[in-house]
Structure 1
Amino acid sequence: MDDLNSDLQALFTVFQAEDVPGVTSEELVRKISSAISRLTESPHSAGSKDADSTCLCLTLIGKIIAGAFSERLPQDVRMLYEDVTKRLFGPADLMLELVPLLNSQDRLLSHLTAKCVSSFVVYDLCTHGNINHVWMSTCAETFQRSVPDCMLDTCLWSLTEVIKGVLRGDCANKQETLQKLIASFETALGSLYSKLLIQDKSEQTQAAKNDVDTIFSTFMDLLEALAAVRLRSGVCSSVQRLMFLHTSALLHLMDSRLKYFVKKRVLLLLKRTVVQRPGEDWTLGGQSVIQGDELWAGDMLALADSVLQEVAAGWLRQVCVKPQPSFFGGNRETFPANEGKDMVVLRATSLILIKSLETKTKHAGTEGADHVVNVQQYMLELLTFLQEHVGQFKGETHRCSWILLVFGEQDDDMMESAKALTTLYLYQRSLSSLAPEACSWGFNPHCHFILLLQSLSFDHTVLLDFLISAETCFLEYCVLYLKLLRDNWQDFCNSCSCIEDSVRVRTTQALPSAPNTPSEGTSGTSHPQIAPQSRTSEKDSTVCSLPRLVDYGSSEESEEEVGSVSDLQTKRSDEELADTCSRTVVDLEEKVKIDFSNSVASKVMMCLTELRTVITKLHSRGLFPYNPTSLLKLLMAIEAKCHS
């Protein structure tokens, strides 16, 4: 056995260097088969050295299969890899030897086996269009049994890897291959979905809890892969529709005994589905092909209906949010004091509801007045949920600021939510004159856009980056909002005043009040003097209180002023503090005279004007990635509206 292990290590070194080994294909196949068979013939009596040799052998097989796939290897090396692969899984029928190892209690051995087997299945599918019968029947039988054990977890992982491999691979007939693959498991996966999520779960309680948690997490990965296939390749089968038609089964997992990381995985699956980005962590991009999927709109509506029904029944109260960020599902005993709630869960939950509302309102708009959606009711539920979990939100005087507090760390989610909220605003506005009330429900798109620009320090270059990048839907959001701004200029002006007022309130509350003295009078008389200043320093105070998408600019001047007052408060007597506050107010009034015209509205317009100027220059030189004519027309129309 030591000699065999040494031979395998030597061969692995050769293949690692992508070189041709000094043995024939027949000899190489014999050595590999011998290492595998020693463990499979007597798995219970096999020692650690046997397991180590098998793991090394499995890794070696994986490199050989990857080499047979590679286009960059020399022709002679690649031909050798192909020949060895054909011999291993042809006459030697290595698959029969490997399948029993999928159920090994040694998780490392089981995982390496699944990885090796999946690599060959992907190779065979993409090269010859064949589905390995041994692998397929083993996985299908395991899914039909639906027993929560190691074998089920391994088979779920293997099928997921095969789907990912084909979706990312270079297959001649990718759509046909994926359709054939999914059809082979349609009945078995339908049975598994029903037993895991819909039927009585008494059997699951008998299994090891760790196995159940792992299986559910792996099953969510498979559901996401199936959704990615539907979105990227246009393949739609009954098993791919289960997640849409039985969404409530997934939502009910929030009230189950599953571990936190599994519930978080469920929310991420639903979030990526509603924003049409399933598989975003591992797909290689490409265009969506849902236009040819006649069932997509109906399935998304079914998903949205399930979400809204559950939210109306109190589902948000079942969503668990850890009091600190969660990393890889682990638990820590102590946490840094500056860490907040698990924002990934908050963002996912918020987007699931917002996008479901967007889907429902778009459909309701085609059905007439009998199908009116009460957007305000659901937004109130969401704001109540966020107020419970986001500490910063409780002190905010402007309810629309929640969008930055929740989505400020994630650009793509921020743009998705802003676009959806703008759509909801337009829908609600079509039903009634909503503008004065929009802020009280937290979905005024004018406020969202202004707060977004404030978080970017009104830097037009960041907006330019968003417009050029394909990583967010900012272009769609920008066009949608600019059309609204062009047609509703007064509402924009009102939102600017509303934000300035909220900044004034925060500024007044933050500054210390002067005590009643004969020279100062009551503290109330000082408030009108301080208030105008906030209209000119809203950039500093608001940007400090809200998270930035990008940390451009600074608030050093504002911080120094507040810091100096704080120091005086601790070192001086009440009379000295009153004099200091009085002098501060005088200084602020002088500052107001200098830059009073520097209002929120003027900053927004300056940013948009600079954006139009730079886009025009880039477009004239042929450096802009697409035709921005429509966008430029919108920007010019808004400038004209401002000047008029």
Structure 2
Amino acid sequence: MDEPAKKKQRILNGNDCSDDELVNEIEIFQKSLLGQCLCEMPESSLRKPFVSTSRASTTDINRTHGILAEWNPDRILEFLSGLQLLFDLAIKQNTRGLMCRRVAEVCEALSRNEHGIIDQLIDLSNTHNKYILYTASRALASFFIITKDNTEEIWLDKLTQSLVNTNLPSQMLFTLDVVKRVVEHKDYDIHPSEDDTTSTTILSSSSAASSSSSSSLVPINCNTLVISDPESVDSTAIKALCVKALEKKWSLLVDKFDTILGSYTPQYESAVITFLDLWESIISVKANLSVIDTKLFYSKLDNLVRLLNGNVPGIIWRHLLGLFNEVLCYGSTLALQDILPDEPCSLAHLIVRAVKDCRLLDGLPYRHGSGRFGGGTGDGDGPLLQKIVLLVLKSVAVTVKETRSDTSDSSLESEADDLDDDMAVIERSIREVLRQLDQCVKTLMPFHPEMPLSQWVVQMFHDQDDFLIEGMVCCLDVAVGLFYRSTIQNNTMIQYPHDPMLSPSLTFVQFVRTVSHDPDVLLDLLVSNETCFLLYLLRFLKYVKRNWGEFVTCCGRELDDTMTVLIRLRLAIDRLVSKALFPYNINPILRLLRECESFYEGDIDN
């Protein structure tokens, strides 16, 4: 075909530019985006990259893919990179409250799917080029985030349906990655190296130019658009849409991945991991999704527990355990609830039975092989061991809490007797589970054979603050619920004896020893919202108040050092409270610290 004929064909297809011209326009588009403004780019040049992707003329009705899928891979990647830059810039500018008007207009045009680009991005999931799949999934996820509740549900339905239909790991990964990026998006995630002085300030149009110069939001000569709607940065709507689209296919998807895991082959590793991570992200409290939106995703976990065996590699174990630990979010949620939901309780029971009756811990692929004594060398899979230990502790804590909650309102004597009988049965089961856990850990870790669980749990999690504090809360609640409970018999209070297995006092002494008796560490944990240390300290101090003699005995020669930490912590809190610098009401902790201090001073005086 001669050049005039080629040009005529391009005009018929709505693309009046050559390949070289198009590549040049895409490069100009990308450079403009790197400058955070599209105002200097001519309208005709701005439209060419998008018009060039329009579907073929209506005479070619048999075409199933847009022109974008037919480009050579390098050209596709360059175009997708341009889209990624556009959407990411729009997200960042929108978060800051000030956008380049042309950037906003282009995103709005794309949200109307004027050139069918979004459908074509979804169609790219059929490609076998892993670089195109990765780049297209990132661009599509960013597009959904910036369009938010203007996203067409049909796009999400098309994505999730393809996930059900396909058996290609690459296509599964494409859809899962898109949804996962949307669900995990943080609306106010600004990098520390960026100037955040205007991140929470809505700029007026008169001051936009000067402010944008100093904060590097947009160039001085940019025609800006002030975003005054505070909900414009809220991605909750699109997250809910994605979850709703998945919900329609969820049973089919879980069955599909159950089958994949049941006859696992390495080619599915990335897809399985992303699926499990997405599942974990959906139910995570960090996703900020409603309980109603996520209730279905707490079901169909039983089969996954049964898949924890020697046929599944360690990396899949870790992600399965991560999912289960998120369901049993004890420190952040379950420990604070009076009545526990059925789903986490069911999972906890299943884990307890799997450890006690099915020897779940024997199948732990700690040393890169099947079972605890599997082949391989080195120190073993530390993160895997930490996750299974925390999961068992959570399962035990949930089981104990649920049992006590179910019968805590018993007022008749016969019901109280039933409670004691129930707790005695549960206590035997829990002791066996903890015995197996203790044996497993001491087989794999160089802990002294006589060191009780209440102490090695601190050493096990010494490098993971969130795991450590949640594990300590679990141990404390189980100890109080089972081993340190008291009952009234014949009008006499019966206090159950000290048990070192889960002694809260031994745990705390080991903890302060691990942090080198530094009260500033405890203060930092109290101020931070990254762990549940406030909950732990509140419950532990209440325990010490009721069991002061046992606390003194466990501290032994370290009583003075341990109490010095608590006294110095109380003084540090007092100083912050006096200056109104403490971020929340800390008075309950202060009262308990003073009471424990008075007990200590009384012992000194005597």
TM-score with structure 1 length normalisation?
Answer: 0.71
Q: Distance in 2 between matches of 1:632 and 1:414?
A: 23
Other-structure match for 1:362:
401
Other-structure match for 2:581:
623
Q: Distance in 1 between matches of 2:530 and 2:579?
A: 24
More deviation, 248-257/452-461: 248-257
> 1:254 is aligned with what amino acid?
L
Do residues 425 (structure 1) and 500 (structure 2) align?
no
Other-structure match for 1:193:
254
Q: Distance in 2 between matches of 1:168 and 1:376?
A: 45
Which of 303, 308, 315 is the aligned partner of 2:347?
303
- Residue 510 of structure 2 aligns to a residue whose secondary structure is helix
Distance 1:87 1:379, change over 3 A: same
> 2:46 is aligned with what amino acid?
L
Other-structure match for 2:302:
248
Q: Distance in 2 between matches of 1:289 and 1:437?
A: 26
1:394: Cα distance to partner?
A: 3.9
> 2:38 is aligned with what amino acid?
V
1:640: Cα distance to partner?
A: 1.6
Contact 2:466/2:531 (8 A) holds in 1: yes
Which of 161, 181, 192 is the aligned partner of 1:141?
161
Q: How does 1:131-280 map to 2 (within 5 A)?
A: 131-133=152-154, 135-145=155-165, 147-165=167-185, 171=231, 178-197=239-258, 209-228=265-284, 232-237=288-293, 240-241=294-295, 244-255=298-309, 257-275=311-329
Other-structure match for 2:434:
379
1:154: Cα distance to partner?
A: 0.9
1:624: Cα distance to partner?
A: 2.3
Q: Distance in 1 between matches of 2:555 and 2:285?
A: 44
Do residues 98 (structure 1) and 121 (structure 2) align?
yes
Q: Distance in 1 between matches of 2:564 and 2:96?
A: 58
Contact 2:166/2:172 (8 A) holds in 1: yes
Contact 1:615/1:624 (8 A) holds in 2: yes
> 2:164 is aligned with what amino acid?
Q
1:86: Cα distance to partner?
A: 3.4
Name structure 1 gaps, 5 residues minimum: 278-286, 325-332, 498-598
Q: Distance in 1 between matches of 2:335 and 2:508?
A: 30
Q: How does 1:406-485 map to 2 (within 5 A)?
A: 406-428=460-482, 429-430=484-485, 438-439=499-500, 441=501, 443-485=502-544
Do residues 349 (structure 1) and 371 (structure 2) align?
no
Other-structure match for 2:563:
605
How many aligned residue pairs are there? 506
Do residues 56 (structure 1) and 78 (structure 2) align?
yes
Do residues 491 (structure 1) and 550 (structure 2) align?
yes
Q: Distance in 1 between matches of 2:436 and 2:95?
A: 58
Q: Distance in 2 between matches of 1:276 and 1:56?
A: 46
Contact 2:334/2:340 (8 A) holds in 1: no
Name structure 2 gaps, 5 residues minimum: 1-18, 57-63, 190-229, 370-375, 408-418, 488-493
Q: Distance in 1 between matches of 2:585 and 2:95?
A: 41
Q: Distance in 2 between matches of 1:18 and 1:76?
A: 11
1:395: Cα distance to partner?
A: 5.2
1:65: Cα distance to partner?
A: 2.3
> 2:462 is aligned with what amino acid?
G
TM-score with structure 2 length normalisation?
Answer: 0.75
1:265: Cα distance to partner?
A: 1.4
Which of 113, 118, 121 is the aligned partner of 2:141?
118
> 1:252 is aligned with what amino acid?
R
Distance 1:44 1:641, change over 3 A: closer
Distance 1:494 1:635, change over 3 A: same
CA deviation map 1:355-412 (0-9, x unaligned): 111111111013342543222121111101101211x214554553211221111112
- Residue 584 of structure 2 aligns to a residue whose secondary structure is coil
CA deviation map 1:336-361 (0-9, x unaligned): xxxx3322112111111111111111
Which of 37, 61, 68 is the aligned partner of 1:19?
37
Contact 1:415/1:473 (8 A) holds in 2: yes
Root mean square deviation of aligned Cα: 3.5
Other-structure match for 1:539:
none
1:448: Cα distance to partner?
A: 0.4
Q: Distance in 2 between matches of 1:316 and 1:75?
A: 52
CA deviation map 1:147-184 (0-9, x unaligned): 24311121111122233348779756865654444233
**Counting helix residues as a fraction of each chain, which structure ranks higher?**
1
Other-structure match for 2:203:
none
Other-structure match for 1:572:
none
Distance 1:149 1:447, change over 3 A: same
Contact 1:435/1:444 (8 A) holds in 2: no
Distance 1:635 1:53, change over 3 A: same
Contact 2:55/2:116 (8 A) holds in 1: no
Q: Distance in 1 between matches of 2:340 and 2:453?
A: 34
1:233: Cα distance to partner?
A: 2.7
Q: Distance in 2 between matches of 1:639 and 1:201?
A: 55
Q: Distance in 1 between matches of 2:96 and 2:396?
A: 55
1:217: Cα distance to partner?
A: 0.4
Other-structure match for 1:7:
25
Other-structure match for 1:79:
101
Distance 1:143 1:8, change over 3 A: closer
Other-structure match for 1:594:
none
Distance 1:295 1:236, change over 3 A: farther
- Residue 233 of structure 1 aligns to a residue whose secondary structure is coil
> 1:7 is aligned with what amino acid?
E
Contact 1:305/1:360 (8 A) holds in 2: yes
Distance 1:435 1:492, change over 3 A: farther
Distance 1:91 1:388, change over 3 A: same
Other-structure match for 1:526:
none
Q: Distance in 1 between matches of 2:255 and 2:393?
A: 28
CA deviation map 1:205-233 (0-9, x unaligned): 6xxx3431111101112201220379723
1:450: Cα distance to partner?
A: 0.6
Q: Distance in 2 between matches of 1:619 and 1:76?
A: 38
> 2:406 is aligned with what amino acid?
E
Which of 389, 402, 405 is the aligned partner of 2:444?
389
> 1:357 is aligned with what amino acid?
V
Contact 2:95/2:187 (8 A) holds in 1: no
CA deviation map 1:423-477 (0-9, x unaligned): 10101122687865521x3x11100001111112222222222222221111111
Q: Distance in 2 between matches of 1:44 and 1:62?
A: 17
Contact 1:245/1:302 (8 A) holds in 2: no
> 1:640 is aligned with what amino acid?
S
Distance 1:624 1:165, change over 3 A: closer
The percent of aligned pairs where both chains have the same amino acid is 18
Other-structure match for 2:363:
318
> 2:346 is aligned with what amino acid?
A
